[in-house]
Amino acid sequence: MCFYCKNEKTKNSITTYMVDLKDCIIIIKNVPCEECTQCGEKYISDEVMERIEKIIRQVRSIAGEVFVTDYTKKIA
């Protein structure tokens, strides 16, 4: 059941997960999730979250600062 709208139906989907570690930002694309069919809220399973945490631990030791921008935004 959706935490926000209380809808009982979800569908398989994908999302992008981002974490800010102060000295770097890690973005993980194509993360499997469940998406509420009514409001679009996304839920990540415990199993997938464990894998995300493993990825973050591995990447943290080698990652530099990441800059992410939107193509439509003007950069000074």
More confident residue, 57 or 39: 39
What is the rounded average pLDDT of the residues 59-74?
Answer: 58
What's residue 70's pLDDT?
A: 40
- The pTM for the full model equals 0.75
Confidence class for position 35, pLDDT limits 50, 70, 90: very high
Residue 35's nearest CA partner among 54, 68, 60, 10 is 10
* Strand extents, DSSP E, the chain: 10-20, 25-36, 42-43
Asked if residue 48 lies in contact with residue 28, where contact means CB atoms within 8 angstroms, the answer is no
Region label for 22, one of left (φ > 0), alpha (ψ between -120 and 50) or beta (otherwise): left
Q: How far apart are CA 70 and CA 55, in angstroms?
A: 24
What's residue 30's pLDDT?
A: 84
What is the rounded average pLDDT of the residues 7-30?
Answer: 88
